[in-house]
């Protein structure tokens, strides 16, 4: 069975920001290659997303977060943080590997 992939608002914003960075600091062609590659990697999550490791942010999250590492070269540059629901893989955030741990409260109002 194939799960549906859903991007949360923060993940969409993370993608836009990363593509802009690649375009400005590398090249527009490399930005497109990066975007195509990350979309391909994310699409593969529709089958067996549990193969990915539990993300370190799970300790604080209150739900099991998983992560997929992605990069254009041999070293991953980004972490795709997601949650697996019964019929959906929700992409929560896309973080550069050098960034601090993801905190849901960065983008959401937390009580």
Going from N- to C-terminal start, the domains of the chain cover 4-99
Closest by CA position to 78, among listed 44, 48, 34: 34
> What is the C-alpha to C-alpha distance for residues 79 and 93, in angstroms, rounded to an integer?
8
Domain 4-99: CATH class, spelled out: alpha beta
> What is the C-alpha to C-alpha distance for residues 89 and 45, in angstroms, rounded to an integer?
7
Let me know: does 67 contact 78? Beta carbons within 8 Å.
no
pLDDT 10s digit of each residue in the chain, 111 long? 799 999 999 999 999 999 999 999 999 999 999 999 999 999 999 999 999 999 999 988 889 999 999 999 889 999 999 999 999 999 999 999 999 999 877 555 454
């Amino acid at each position: 069975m194939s799960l549906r992939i859903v991007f949360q608002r923060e993940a969409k914003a993370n993608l836009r920001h990363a593509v802009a960075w690649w375009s400005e600091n590398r090249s527009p062609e490399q930005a497109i290659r990066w975007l195509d590659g990350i979309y391909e990697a994310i699409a593969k999550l529709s089958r067996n997303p549990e193969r990915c490791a539990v993300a370190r942010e799970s300790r604080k999250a209150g739900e099991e977060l998983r992560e997929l590492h992605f990069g254009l070269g041999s070293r991953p540059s980004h972490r795709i943080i997601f949650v697996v629901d019964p019929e959906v893989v929700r992409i929560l955030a896309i973080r550069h590997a050098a960034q601090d741990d993801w905190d849901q409260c960065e983008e959401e109002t937390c009580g």
